[in-house]
Structure formats: structure tokens, C-alpha cells
Amino acid sequence: MESLGSPFYYRPEDYRYTLRSNIACGWWTGVIKNNIQILRCPEAAITFDRKGKLLSVESADKYPIPNEWKDDPTASERVVPAWATEFDFAECPIRVLRFWVPEHSVGIEDMPDTLAEYFTNQEVFLAESGLEVEDVESWQNSDQFVFSTSREYWLNNKGDVESS
């Protein structure tokens, strides 16, 4: 898998993004012991403190996902892997600060690269992208963000996938 390039942000550093489990996309969110937030995605298991600051990035292999979780949105209530029991995992949305872990190809940025180019290389954006300034403004007003994990997903401020 190719690693991520540099992220683009326009929101303040203390802005918190909401992520929620999405079985179709292959990630799960929740809380474990000591009020630690966890994101288990295909590439890694990432923990955050209650304020959303990234604490650790570990191999996803340490947190295996049961097949039932991949097929049934309610399965995490019935089928509990050893790690979920050990760490008292409770599935729920999490709120995190921006993070970028290129070696695992996972992170958050404020807008897709094609729109960010308006700020990073305006001449190319206007000449080659086929997009307009209004597209950038519309994105900013939408309160969406980009979550990258094996591919790019556009999420709304509630953590729901809007597009991929």
C-alpha cells in the first residue's frame, strides 16, 4: 500500500473529528479501559486520550476482528474477541484531533487533495482541475472531512460516510 502524502488542514488544531464504526468500510470505534478511545481499522489499531490526542499506533493483528463483526452491525454485542474483553471495549463514536500516520496509510485531513490544491497550488487548481472556487467554498461549508484508511472516505461531522 502506498503511504499518504502530506495532509491539508484549515480547521483549528483543537478541532475534534467524529469517527464511528462502519462495518462496510472495515473500521470500528469505541472506548476501552481508562477512557481511552480506540480506532480499529484495517491498517492499525490507534488509541487516543479522552481529549482526542493520539496516544499509540499498533498492528491491527493484535486486535483481530471476528468475521461476525464484518457482517452484522449488532454482532459486537454478542461476539466478543479476547482483546475486547481484556480491554473492556464498548463500541461507540469517538472524537479525535487531527492525526496522520503515513506509515500505516491512515489519517484525517480537512479536504480532498484536489480541493486543497486551491490553497497549495492555486495556479494549477484554476488551470487544470476543472473545479471552481465555489467548489472549495461549498466543501468548507459542508463540514465534511477526509478519513483515509486503505482508501479515502468523505465523512460528515457525525462520522457517517458520505462518499468514497
Count the neighbouring beta carbons within 10 Å of the beta carbon of residue 155.
23
pLDDT of residue 57: 97
Q: What is the pLDDT along the chain (164 residues), one digit of tens a residue?
A: 444 578 999 999 999 999 999 988 989 999 999 999 999 999 999 999 999 999 999 999 999 888 887 787 777 778 888 888 999 999 999 999 999 999 988 999 999 888 888 888 888 777 777 788 888 888 888 999 999 997 899 999 999 999 87
Q: Are strands 152-155 and 145-149 parallel, antiparallel or unpaired?
A: antiparallel
- Crossing angle of the two packed helices 113-120 and 133-142, in degrees rounded to 10: 120
Domain boundaries, the chain: 17-151
pTM over 0.85: yes
Local structure of 46: helix, strand or coil: strand
Going by C-alpha positions, the residue among 82, 100, 93 that lies closest to residue 31 is 93
pLDDT of residue 1: 41
